[in-house]
Amino acid sequence: MKTLFILFVLMNLDQLLKTGRCTETQDQIISITPKTQEQVDILKNVSTQYETALWQPVSPQYIKEETEVHLFVPANSSETVKDLLQKHAITHGVLLANTNELIEMQTRNDSTDPRSSSTFYERYHSLEDIYHWINRTQQDNPNMVKAILIGSSYEKRPLYVLKLSVNNRPNKKAMWIDCGIHAREWISHAFCLWFVQNSLSFYKLNQDITRILDNMDVYILPVMNPDGYQYTWTTNRMWRKNRSVSKSSNCIGVDLNRNFDANWCTEGASDEPCTEIYCGAFPESEPESQAVANFLRSHKDSVQFYLSIHSYSQMLLFPYSCTLDEAENHKDLLEMAQEAAQAIRRYYRNTYKYGSGAKTIYLAPGGSDDWAYNLGIKYSFTFELQDRGRYGFLLPPSLISRACNEALIAVKTIALKVIEKT
């Protein structure tokens, strides 16, 4: 009896110690608003020299006074980073203290859950699962869905586009959606799956979806950066770029959304392979961007609406991002984005900013949206989905449906406008 009791105490002690240790040593997301130029410089230093990942802004060069910085700090650099901040009297808040738990929640395999098939679209899926899903979706809907191989990634993974098409009208218009240019933006991949599922389930039931599919073919690339996505599941949840090896550096990866031929590698991109916004060796140097560009070039007569899905920050953006100049149909684009944002506000009471990329966030050349626009796809958008920083890239699965429905209503609003105008 006595030994049992001692054992019991020991077991609980161990439990206590474990949980204590866990909360103390988890990876965290911290938030800092620098007040002086000195603090700005220190932050730039921290985010480049220590083993951290900048969540916001995308690159240290954009850190400035009075704007909030979100920084991922892994447990093992936590003390060093916090000491350094303290030494310079920089205060920080903790946005997320339980990063490890959130990541665990996002990658949990729920396939043993009896309800799992009904919640499939409300969970995140590994790359392998998504490839299976592509296959199954095509097999289950032979009259509406066709998978098209458009190329392969740097590590030779296939790039599949799903074509949704309900009829063969002559001169049929089309729209394009790509997801997951940036590996860590998991809600983006989830949206592409959501969109396909919704279209297939509600064709002939929902008036808007029916009108859209009757008038347009839809091309969907659910995973534009499969190597990066795989890497976020196995090795580093915060990875953004693709996984290509550079000739000139040990650093890996090109920012695919800086690799297109639109004022390529000017201000807002970097020719330094170690940065998160590395533009690559030349425009379309990467197989992933080249595959997308080739496909769009060969379909540019039909594709009227280009859409690229990212996260986070809740924005509906349109060209240009590579220059401060206004697009030729700026007024149209603004009106469409505004209407989409209003729909989101009306139906979901959530706020999305909208405007041209360069004026709404920052100059960012070499983006797919600007390139597609210059190719002649006059309705070109980039959506930044939920949230605004509460969970950032670690949006919990329970928020997938809200985030996707919001984006869906925005897509529908714009697609219907495109049909009207073209």
Question: Residue 159 or 372: which CB sits closer to ligand ARG?
Answer: 372
384 is catalytic: yes
CA distance 142 to 171: 22
Instruction: Residue 357: name its binding partner from Zn ion, ligand ARG, none (Cβ under 5 to 8 Å by kind).
Output: ligand ARG
Question: Residue 39 or 380: which CB sits closer to Zn ion?
Answer: 380
| Chain residue whose CB lies nearest ligand ARG | 367
Residues in the chain: 422
Pairing between β-strand 315-318 and β-strand 353-356 as defined by DSSP bridges = parallel
Instruction: Residue 57: name its binding partner from Zn ion, ligand ARG, none (Cβ under 5 to 8 Å by kind).
Output: none
Q: Which of 44, 70, 310, 378 binds Zn ion (CB under 5 A)?
A: 310
Write down the least CB distance from residue 184 to Zn ion, Å.
8
| Chain mean position to CA 353 | 17
* Tokens describing residue 288: 């992933």
| Residue 246 and residue 258 in contact, taking contact as beta carbons nearer than 8 Å | no
| Residue 303 and residue 163 in contact, taking contact as beta carbons nearer than 8 Å | no
Question: Residue 52 or 382: which CB sits closer to ligand ARG?
Answer: 382
Write down the least CB distance from residue 179 to ligand ARG, Å.
13
Catalytic one of 185, 284, 288, 384: 384
Write down the least CB distance from residue 370 to ligand ARG, Å.
5
Q: Which helix (H) or strand (E) holds 131?
A: helix 127-140
Write down the least CB distance from residue 12 to Zn ion, Å.
45
Instruction: Residue 58: name its binding partner from Zn ion, ligand ARG, none (Cβ under 5 to 8 Å by kind).
Output: ligand ARG
- The candidate with the shortest Cα–Cα distance to 412, out of 353, 357, 351, 339, is 339
Question: Residue 323 or 413: which CB sits closer to ligand ARG?
Answer: 323
Q: Is 241 in the site for Zn ion (CB under 5 A)?
A: no
Instruction: Residue 174: name its binding partner from ligand ARG, Zn ion, none (Cβ under 5 to 8 Å by kind).
Output: none
Q: Is 182 in the site for Zn ion (CB under 5 A)?
A: yes
Question: Residue 62 or 92: which CB sits closer to Zn ion?
Answer: 62
Write down the least CB distance from residue 187 to ligand ARG, Å.
13
Instruction: Residue 39: name its binding partner from Zn ion, ligand ARG, none (Cβ under 5 to 8 Å by kind).
Output: none
- Binding residues vs ligand ARG (CB under 6 A): 58, 257, 310, 317, 321, 357, 364, 367, 369-370, 382
Non-local CB neighbours of 274 within 8 Å, separated by 6+ positions: 249, 251
Question: Residue 218 or 256: which CB sits closer to ligand ARG?
Answer: 256
Q: Is 378 in the site for Zn ion (CB under 5 A)?
A: no
Q: How many CB atoms lie within 10 A of CB 224?
A: 30
**Phi (first) and psi of residue 237, to 5 degrees:** -60, -20
Reduced to 3 states (helix: H, G, I; strand: E, B; else coil), residue 179 is strand
Residue 48 pairs in a beta bridge with none
Q: Is 189 in the site for Zn ion (CB under 5 A)?
A: no
Instruction: Please identify, among the stretches 20-28, 84-92, 107-115, 305-313, the one whose residues bind Zn ion according to the rule CB under 5 A.
Output: 305-313
Residue with tokens 């603004």: 334
Write down the least CB distance from residue 396 to Zn ion, Å.
19
- The candidate with the shortest Cα–Cα distance to 357, out of 328, 327, 400, 336, is 327
| The Cα angle at residue 199 between residues 113 and 312, in degrees rounded to 5 | 70
| Residue 289 and residue 308 in contact, taking contact as beta carbons nearer than 8 Å | no
| The Cα angle at residue 307 between residues 303 and 309, in degrees rounded to 5 | 155
Please list the active-site residues.
Answer: 384
